[in-house]
Structure 1
Amino acid sequence: MTANYTEATQEMTQRFLSLGHRQLMYLGRQERTESAADREQGFRAVAGSAAPVLRLLPEQVNDAFLREVLTQGVTGFLVENDALMRALDATAMQGGFRSPDDFSSAVLGDAITGQPDDPHWTRLRVPRVEMGRGAVEVLLRLLGNDPVQNAIFRCAIHEGISLGPAPRVI
């Protein structure tokens, strides 16, 4: 059972582009997992190989970092997880920036920190219930000695308010 993070990230990246964002940045955690690689692949497929991908710890998303990338013209952040998204939001608020007025952002999955998802975030919704049902079906097929195939599930997009039209570059 797996979620189709590649396709979902492609769709999310396309949404940024359709809103006028031309300078996008992917923020990912330092640990590379299969799902992280799938997300990055989806981002690069739409944004291009030259689009920056940074692997950071949440504490590295600070005021100096945010000001620098905004000055360089970045208007949209596709963020791998909620820990990095929380750091981006906190840094923006402390620095006087507002999303989506000064930049847009979206998180590419459900919360992994144990904290609830912020309903204001535009984000991918991982189909966990459907994946659980699929896993039970696979188990039942295995117990019945029936053939099994891997199932890939589509992620939905939660329409929050963190993604909007591209702002004018600072």
Structure 2
Amino acid sequence: MARPVGSQVTVRMIAAEAGVSIATVSRVMSGQARVAPGTQERVRSAAERLGATPPARRGSAEGAVFVRCPYVLTDYFGVIVSSIAEALDVHGRRLVLSAGDAARERSVLPGLAADPAVGGALLILPPEPGPELEALRGQGLPFVVVDPRTPLPGDIASVSAAHLAGARDVTAHLAGLGHRRIGVIGGPAEWLACQARLAGHRSALADVGVLHAPELLRSIEPTADWGYVAARELLELPERPTALVAFNDKAAVGALRAAYERGLRVPEDLSITGFDDTDLGRSTVPRLTTVRQPVQEMGRMAVSLLMRLLDGQAVDTLHVELATQLVVRDSTGPAPG
């Protein structure tokens, strides 16, 4: 197959030339051992005919680990990055950190694989769309996604909490207290975690014969201010909810403020729950019932997966979900009669 002079060889072109899938080309280019030798030879031959040579996997002794966390390093994100740094130190790996809101505006993934100083990467809740992550995978750079924002292809490694199970547990807790009209202050609708938690919420309601009412859902940026706005809207409904489940502890704090302004007692008049189990949730009055995410373990597990990829080991389970734990405190109680 001839190609125009100066044009770039893409993974899609190599896949078409070799008669295999794009995912197979990505695996061959990144050096995964799961591809049959004959198929590897077909892909490499196709790449050579097109004038491209698949990059070899970097060795475990080469390059720093690039950690991208395009958010302010407070509570949730700060704990993840700290646990990653500690785990990388145990492995003797140098860390290069790109963090903060300003990092969100910089396009770093396209040139990351070409940086000789970088051996692998850990991407925390990456805002980049799926095709950019697939392109990075196809360039042969080992990386792991921590808490994916959107669904990932099967050959991209990731670590997250069991969002569906955690949300199901907290809603089942409220349902067991007699709550049936439960408002949901969710995160952005396109986030994978938000979709999973809404599914868990609906599942727990279905167990007690209740359908989730659309008017009881608000999708927000999960901050205390937006949690306050969403809670105020829900509490102004003609038939207000008897409980609110918030996307995180920050949003739940905003809901506590909205309840206070309306003169509602928590939990006597209104139950409120959070998610994450941060220090913030343990400092409110009343203290928040919430769902504990294994945030430190997420960071450590991500490093463990990346080390295996860097060492060329086969990884059978690329998408790892870590168990959550319901933590019952003072902000939930029986549904008001």
Same fold? TM cut 0.5? yes
Corresponding residue number in structure 2 for 1:27: 185
CA distance in 2, matches of 1:62, 1:157: 22
Q: Please give the TM-score of this superposition, normalised by the length of structure 2.
A: 0.44
Give the 3-state SS of the residue equivalent to 1:165 in structure 2.
Answer: coil
* 1:44 pairs with one of 175, 181, 202: 202
| RMSD, aligned CA | 2.1
Q: Which has the higher contact order (CA 8 A, sep 6+)?
A: 1
1:118 partnered with 2:285? no
CA distance in 1, matches of 2:181, 2:169: 16
Kindly indicate whether the alpha-carbon contact (under 8 Å) linking 1:39 and 1:108 is maintained by their aligned counterparts in 2: no
Q: Output the amino acid matched with 2:236.
A: E
Corresponding residue number in structure 2 for 1:54: 218
CA distance in 2, matches of 1:154, 1:160: 19
Which shifted more, 120-129 or 84-93?
84-93
Give the 3-state SS of the residue equivalent to 1:134 in structure 2.
Answer: helix
Q: Deviation of residue 30 (structure 1)?
A: 4.3
Give the 3-state SS of the residue equivalent to 1:54 in structure 2.
Answer: strand
CA distance in 2, matches of 1:151, 1:110: 21
Q: Deviation of residue 62 (structure 1)?
A: 6.3
Q: Output the amino acid matched with 1:41.
A: A
Give the 3-state SS of the residue equivalent to 2:172 in structure 1.
Answer: helix
Q: Output the amino acid matched with 1:97.
A: L
- Relative to structure 1, the CA distance from residue 66 to residue 135 in structure 2 (aligned partners, 3 Å threshold; closer, same or farther) is closer
Q: Output the amino acid matched with 2:190.
A: R
* 1:15 pairs with one of 151, 168, 173: 173
Kindly indicate whether the alpha-carbon contact (under 8 Å) linking 2:187 and 2:247 is maintained by their aligned counterparts in 1: yes
1:166 partnered with 2:335? yes
Corresponding residue number in structure 2 for 1:152: 321
Q: Deviation of residue 81 (structure 1)?
A: 2.2
Consecutive unaligned residues of structure 1, counting only runs of 5 or more, are none
CA distance in 2, matches of 1:62, 1:21: 17
Q: Please give the TM-score of this superposition, normalised by the length of structure 1.
A: 0.84
Q: Deviation of residue 66 (structure 1)?
A: 5.1
Kindly indicate whether the alpha-carbon contact (under 8 Å) linking 2:227 and 2:246 is maintained by their aligned counterparts in 1: no
CA distance in 2, matches of 1:117, 1:123: 11
Which deviations, in whole Å up to 9, do the C-alpha atoms of 1:26-49 show, x marking residues without a partner? Answer: 112445311111111111122244
Which deviations, in whole Å up to 9, do the C-alpha atoms of 1:70-128 show, x marking residues without a partner? Answer: x51521111112332122111211221111010111112345xxxx4221001111101
Give the 3-state SS of the residue equivalent to 1:157 in structure 2.
Answer: strand
Q: Output the amino acid matched with 1:118.
A: G
Identity percentage of aligned residues: 26
Give the 3-state SS of the residue equivalent to 2:204 in structure 1.
Answer: helix
- Relative to structure 1, the CA distance from residue 59 to residue 90 in structure 2 (aligned partners, 3 Å threshold; closer, same or farther) is closer
Corresponding residue number in structure 1 for 2:85: none
Give the 3-state SS of the residue equivalent to 2:307 in structure 1.
Answer: helix
Q: Deviation of residue 67 (structure 1)?
A: 4.2
1:105 partnered with 2:249? no
Kindly indicate whether the alpha-carbon contact (under 8 Å) linking 2:185 and 2:230 is maintained by their aligned counterparts in 1: no
CA distance in 1, matches of 2:164, 2:235: 29
Q: Output the amino acid matched with 1:9.
A: A
Aligned length: 162
Q: Output the amino acid matched with 1:99.
A: V
Which shifted more, 42-51 or 139-148?
42-51
CA distance in 1, matches of 2:254, 2:300: 34
Which deviations, in whole Å up to 9, do the C-alpha atoms of 1:117-141 show, x marking residues without a partner? Answer: 2210011111011112211211221
Kindly indicate whether the alpha-carbon contact (under 8 Å) linking 1:66 and 1:92 is maintained by their aligned counterparts in 2: no
Corresponding residue number in structure 1 for 2:236: 68
Kindly indicate whether the alpha-carbon contact (under 8 Å) linking 2:186 and 2:194 is maintained by their aligned counterparts in 1: yes
Q: Output the amino acid matched with 1:16.
A: L
Consecutive unaligned residues of structure 2, counting only runs of 5 or more, are 1-158, 221-225
